[in-house]
Amino acid sequence: MTGSRAFQSPAGVRQAGWLLAPALVWMGLFFVLPLLIVLLISFASRGAYGGVEWTFTLANYRDLADPLYLWIYLRSCAFALATTGLCLCLGFPLAYYIARAPARWQGLWLMLVLVPFWTNFLVRTYAWMNVLRADGLLNRLLAATGVISEPVEILYTDLAVLIGLVYGYLPFMVLPLYAALERIDRSLIEAARDLYASGWTVFTRVIVPLAKPGIIAGCLLVFIPSLGAYITPDLLGGARSMMIGNFIQHEYLVVRDWPLGSAASFVLMAMVLAGLWGYQRAGGERPL
């Protein structure tokens, strides 16, 4: 702490300002500028052969109010909520177990949580296609154990998308939960037990409130990317399971309606920002 004293004083911060420059230039050129271009395109209109015609219009946003598109947004929200909920249910016990494990085991468990990141996400999604296929691992396993007689169609269903999303984003839930749970002093749990709390009450009255920052961070880290998920619904969900991400890709690359795709992108972004704003208004917690 004392070693970074120079960076804590206002003068030190001013002197260190130039450290921001490389990242600012990079983000400005390759993030903010393209985003502004997409924003502009969302107010343009589609040319007859797919180009962008620079006439200002709100038509793209009006078009998005079509029930068909609304349905896609609604589906995406439902998928993202279900993914978040499932990740929380699966991730909390796991994170709690790791946080309470002996210190020498915690590193190993955390590494195992992160192992999937060593392989490309696309490759892992193809692997899931193999598992979920009609003649895939899961169906053969179920048939061999006599649970089913006919192969069940899982691949190219909503269930496959949900499985894929939960699989893909579970680590983003586990890590912040672990960080929050690991900080909870064990003697607080003993104190609650000592003060007549049952195991369940200790969980609801002590562990959950103290893990709240981790729960919120984990939920946001899962909800936001799964709302805009693209690869998973594209590969595991097939044509019937379109989410916002697929819709945007479809507008850009298949229909070549860049303005509508851009507008859809900004509505997605607005939804996320509105969610974050609502969370801050409601919870009054520190900004994330």
Partner 1 sequence: MNQPGIELREVVKRHGSTVAVDHLSFSVRRGEFFSILGPSGSGKTTTLRLIAGFEHPDQGDILIDGRSVRDVPPNLRPVNMVFQHYALFPHLTVSGNVAFGLEMRGIARAEILSRVSAALDMVRLAGKDDRLPAQLSGGEQQRVALARALVNRPAVLLLDEPLGALDQQLRQEMQVELKTIQEQVGLTFICVTHHQEEALTMSDRVAVMDHGRVLQVGAPQDIYTAPASLFVAEFIGLSNRLDGRIAAVEGTRCRIEVPGLPIVQADVPAGAGPGRAVSVVLRPERLHVSKQAAPNGFDNVVPARVAKAVYNGHEMQYQLRIDERLLWTVRVPNADGGQKRFLPGDTVSVRWNADESVVLAQ
Residues at the site binding partner 1, with contacts judged by CB under 8 A: 185, 187-188, 190-198, 201, 205-206, 209-210
Q: Are the C-beta atoms of 205 and 243 separated by less than 8 Å? A: no
Query: Coil, strand, or helix at residue 57?
Result: coil
- Tell me how far apart the terminal alpha carbons of the chain are, to the nearest angstrom: 23
- DSSP letter assigned to residue 252: I
For the beta carbon of residue 223, count every other beta carbon within 10 angstroms.
Answer: 21
Backbone angles phi, psi at 55, to 5 degrees: -115, 130
Considering the complex, state which of residue 165 and residue 202 has its C-beta at the smaller distance from partner 1: 202
Residue 288: CB minimum distance to partner 1, A: 19
Instruction: Output the smallest distance, CB 192 to partner 1, in A.
Output: 7
**Crossing angle of helices 158-182/103-114, nearest 10°?**
150
Would you call 146 helix, strand, or coil by DSSP?
coil
Residue whose CB is less far from partner 1, 193 or 256: 193
Kindly state the smallest distance separating residue 100's Cβ from partner 1, in Å: 15
87 versus 180: smaller Cβ distance to partner 1: 180
In whole angstroms, how close is the CB of 210 to partner 1 at the nearest point? 6
CB of 284 to partner 1, least distance (A): 14
What tokens does 264 get?
Answer: 């859809």
CB of 185 to partner 1, least distance (A): 7
Comparing CB distances to partner 1, the nearer of 202 and 243 is 202
In the complex with partner 1, the residue whose CB is nearer, 217 or 248, is 217
DSSP letters of 95-132? HHHHHHS-HHHHHHHHHHHHGGGGS-HHHHHHHHHHHH
Residue matched to tokens 């009054």:
284
Q: How far apart are CA 37 and CA 54, in angstroms?
A: 12
**CA nearest neighbour of 163 among 83, 47, 52:** 83
Nearer to partner 1, 50 or 283 (CB): 283
Whole-number minimum distance, CB 206 to partner 1, in Å?
A: 6
Residue closer to partner 1, measured from CB, 145 or 187: 187
